[in-house]
Amino acid sequence: MEILTQTAPKTNLLGLSRKAMEAFFVSLGEKPYRAQQVLKWIHFEGVHAIDAMTNLSKALRAKLHEIAEITPPEIAYESTAQDGTHKFLLRLADGNCIETIFIPETERGTLCVSSQVGCTLNCDFCSTGKQGFNRNLSAAEIIGQVWTAARSLSENKTTHDRAVTNVVMMGMGEPLLNFDNVVSAMDIMLDDFAYGLSKRRVTLSTAGVVPAMLKLREVSDVALAVSLHAPNDELRDVLVPLNKKYPLKELMQVCKDYFKDDKRRYVTMEYVMLAGINDTPTHAKQLIRLLEGIPSKVNLIPFNPFPTTIYKRSDRATIDKFREILMAAGINAITRKTRGDDIDAACGQLVGQVKDRTRRSERHLKKFADSQNASNL
Ligand code: SAH
């Protein structure tokens, strides 16, 4: 008779925050300070070979070989846009692929990190949503994007050593629907023994999962961005269907209170500019009323098209006019520069390779084909 022996899966040390790493070493009968040493090796030194960790005893390294691993995602494909924006397509152990984008600027380098394989929210103007959903990323897969990008960029001699100075959780997925793993990964980004980024340089962006925003405020002090996109419920219900569950009144109340203990901080409101949909002076005036009393700044994002979308980007003059109306009312508004769109690396263009379990991508393509056929009649 065949005897099946089952070995416990190894712990991927890449995804352990300081707290989790300390608990891990204590469970092995080791001192908690081992956590700092190993965090530093992995994230500061970029090491993934246990044997390279020379301040651990040989016996401890042998033990780690048995029960632990440091497994980053694999780079399946990468490309650089004309403006220097760099796209990584990362393959995960189960074959799904996610996208991570590096956006270099003169004073900083921002990494746009994914939190899920696909997304469940299905915002009408976002190509990730149209890909459907497979699963949440583990903490190791989230921080693994930072690890892989930082290492790859520092190996690339055209960039300097610490290329990643900022992280935005604005890649594929809704980070607040993968709460624990996202918070663990952000803890590692902020940890002085790992990436040591300041709380103002790590931003979580949400479509407005109200209860999770309240919880986040209690456990993390990273910067917050909200994907607003519409100044009234009627329109937002269509563009961001999550609005039906958490309407603007509730969302705005959380935003109002979010940084009430620190008057210097504000919520970034993201507003995608869709021609003829949400970009008129009337919308701007509604937005002014909506943001009254809310410490906020508005980021206007020119819409980035993708093949099956019905939406169009507002023209420059319309965006400028919209911005001027906001500014005249004392609202700080900037227009986000479009980066990386020639390699489909811009906001809302990230698709990865999602083994869709929702069949939404299929339905979306059928709907699009039907609408094309109808307009050809
Ligand atoms: N789910 C989170 C994280 C994604 S962030 C959130 O909604 O905030 C990605 C940002 O790009 C969001 O503000 C999103 O609304 C915006 N976006 C999505 N599709 C876009 C598109 N086609 N053009 C421009 N911006 C887009």
376: how many CB neighbours lie within 10 A of its CB? 6
Closest residue to atom 18 of ligand 1, CA basis: 348
CA 23 to the chain's CA centroid:
27
Q: How far is the CA of 20 from the centre of ligand 1 (A)?
A: 31
Judged by average pLDDT, the poorest of 211-215, 282-286, 355-359 is 355-359
CA dist 333 and 263 (Å) reads 18
Tens digits of residue pLDDT in 96-154: 999 999 999 988 999 999 999 999 999 999 998 888 999 999 999 999 999 999 999 98
Segment 269-289 mean pLDDT: 98
DSSP for 94-114 reads TS-EEEEEEEE-SS-EEEE--
What pLDDT score was predicted for residue 130?
86
Q: What is the pLDDT of residues 209-225, one digit of tens each?
A: 999 999 999 999 999 99
In this predicted structure, the answer to whether residue 308 has a pLDDT above a threshold of 70 is yes
Look over the chain and give the mean of its residue pLDDT values, rounded to a whole number.
Answer: 93
The one-letter code for the residue type at 239 is L
* CB 301 less than 6 A from any atom of ligand 1: yes
Break the chain into its structural domains and give their ranges: 11-69, 74-366
Q: How crowded is residue 74: how many other Cβ atoms within 10 Å of its Cβ?
A: 13
CATH pick for 74-366 out of 3.90.1150.10, 3.40.30.10, 1.10.1740.110, 3.20.20.70: 3.20.20.70
Report the pLDDT averaged over residues 38-67.
96
For residue 160, is pLDDT > 60? no
**CATH architecture for residues 11-69:** Orthogonal Bundle (1.10)
Tokens of 188: 């590692």
Please say if 99 is a catalytic residue.
yes
Rounded to an integer, the average pLDDT of 226-233 is 98
Provide the 10 A C-beta neighbour count for residue 67. 15
- Which residue's CA is the nearest one to ligand 1's atom 11? 347
Q: Is 276 helix (H, G, I), strand (E, B) or coil?
A: coil
Q: What is the C-alpha to C-alpha distance for residues 358 and 114, in angstroms, rounded to an integer?
A: 19
45 is catalytic: no
* Between 189 and 351, the higher pLDDT residue: 189
Which two tokens mark 302?
């020119």
Of residues 315 and 155, more confidently modeled: 315
172 by DSSP, 3-state: which? coil
β-pairing, 86-91 vs 74-80, is antiparallel
Please report the pLDDT score of residue 4 as a whole number: 59
Q: Is the separation of the CB atoms in 273 and 305 below 8 Å?
A: no
Residue 30's pLDDT is what? 96
Better-scored residue on pLDDT, 297 or 360:
297
Classify each residue of 199-233 as buried b or exposed e, where b means 16 or more C-beta atoms within 10 Å of its C-beta.
Answer: eebbbbbbbbbbebbeebbeebbbbbbbbbbbbbe
Q: Is 114 in the pocket of ligand 1 (CB under 6 A)?
A: no
Residue range 304-327: average pLDDT? 96
pLDDT surpasses 90 at 271: yes
As a whole number, mean pLDDT of residues 315-326 equals: 98
What is the value of pTM for the model shown? 0.94
Instruction: Single out the catalytic residue among 97, 123, 126, 347.
Output: 347
Residue 23, pLDDT score: 98
Cβ–ligand 1 distance for 239 under 6 Å, the answer no
Determine if ligand 1 sits within 6 Å of the CB of residue 224: no
The predicted model gives 23-41 an average pLDDT of 97
Say how far apart CA 314 and CA 308 lie, in whole Å. 18
Indicate if the pLDDT at residue 41 is higher than 80. yes
Q: Percent of the chain beyond pLDDT 90?
A: 81
For residues 317 and 325, the answer to whether their CB atoms sit within 8 Å is: no
Report whether pLDDT(347) > 50. Answer: yes
